[in-house]
Amino acid sequence: MKAAAGRVFLVVLDGVGVGEAPDAAAFGDAGSDSVGNTARALGALPLPHLGRLGLGHLTAIPGTPPDPHPLAAWGKAAEISAGKDSTTGHWEMCGIVTLRPFPTYPHGFPPEVLLPFENAIGRRTLGNRAASGTVIIQELGDEHVRTASPIVYTSADSVFQIAAHEDVIPVTELYRMCEVARAQLVGEHAVGRVIARPFTGTRGNYARTPRRRDYAVVPPGRSLLEALRDSGREVIGVGKIEDLFSGAGLTASDHTTSNAAGMRATRRLADQAPPGAFVFTNLNDFDTLWGHRNDAPGYALGLQEFDAWLPEMVAALQPDDLLIITSDHGNDPTTPSTDHSREYVPVLALRAGAATPAPLGTRRGLVDIAATILEHQQVAESFGGTSFLGALGGT
């Protein structure tokens, strides 16, 4: 099949939700609204370019009112999957719905998980509890430096995290430890992600470095990425996409480690990606730097930086290119929780050269994004989703 000329740019603002999902209370997230609550906490949050695409219609955002005639089709989506983590969110928008949640360990990992890991790496571990990553390295950093024992911890999400000082355990060795853990964590203990958390610094001043790496569980089946690749398209991941899909379906990857680098890479690919290409970008700082640290001012600044980048990206789109801006879950920086929040995520979709986009309403699942991209790319698969391509306007 001949590839469609138009490209697709799917940009995920990791942890950017627009209001509590219908089942938020079951996740302990009643009242969460990552964007709206952040705006209210600061008094106002002007996002003029996201507003022009319709963001102000999705939740009340002081400083970003509803635009009467948005340039994009606008809506929001609730996850079908039984989770609120990055893996399930990204998988669902690519057609894989996870109905059984990944295991979590609020009281730490049991001996049948931890002891085989320690035996395999030849070291004892520290921690083994649910904790904030920035806090636990301050609490245990000195002992880690003294003993060279890696710090193992988890969170409310399905993660097995390993922190190590780069001068004590080289990053390559930390990555190897994560690979060992990933190979062992199968079956009932198949956590969503194993995460390498390197840090540097000295007593009382330890800080994580950008060389984090995620080792996601291998997707259980075919996704949007394979469907596009198998039909002859280039499938390019930016940011941690390669990690979240274990590389499955990608033809290339730019493993950027910050929002700024991810935006630069995406803008560069708007000039360089060939006809029919799919560029899949994750911007993770909303989640890692600001949401998990309850840093509402930082979160707001990140949204404003993305907003300022948007006009250049939109101007670089070629005829019939499709730009979709969405998220994988919420991470409200204004609530007492430092974990992800079960929220609606925005769906803002712009088709270059199209006229009269329409509201998308509330989508039943992120899987509708996969169906829309496949219809745009003229690939006869849908993964059970309902395409909203028709709402994007005629070209």
Where do the structural domains in the chain lie, given as residue ranges? 8-100+218-392, 111-215
Residue 2 has a pLDDT of: 46
Taking phi over 0 as left and psi of -120 to 50 as alpha, with beta for the rest, 114 belongs to alpha
Q: Which fold has domain 111-215?
A: Alpha-Beta Plaits (3.30.70)
Q: 290: number of CA atoms within 13 Å, CB side?
A: 26
Is the pLDDT confidence value at 1 over 50? no
Q: Express each pLDDT in 174-229 by its tens digit.
A: 999 999 999 999 999 999 999 999 999 999 999 999 899 999 898 999 999 999 99
For residue 184, CA distances in Å to 102, 103, 122, 366, 369 come to 15, 14, 15, 30, 33
**Across all residues in the chain, what is the average pLDDT?**
95
pTM of the entire structure? 0.90
Question: CB-based contacts of 264: which residues, under 8 Å, 6+ apart?
Answer: 256
Residue 268 has pLDDT above 50, yes or no: yes
Q: Is the pLDDT of residue 395 over 80?
A: no
> Which pLDDT score, from 0 to 100, does residue 278 have?
98
Q: Over 90: is that where the pLDDT of 258 sits?
A: yes
CATH for 8-100+218-392 is 3.40.720.10
Q: Tens digits of per-residue pLDDT, 65-107?
A: 999 999 999 999 999 999 899 999 999 999 999 998 899 999 9
Residue 200 and residue 187 in contact, taking contact as beta carbons nearer than 8 Å:
no
Tell me what percent of the residues of the chain surpass a pLDDT of 90: 92
Lookup: tokens for 100: 């059984």
Q: What band does 5 get if pLDDT is binned at 50, 70 and 90?
A: confident
- In the chain, the largest separation of any two C-alpha atoms, in whole Å, equals 64
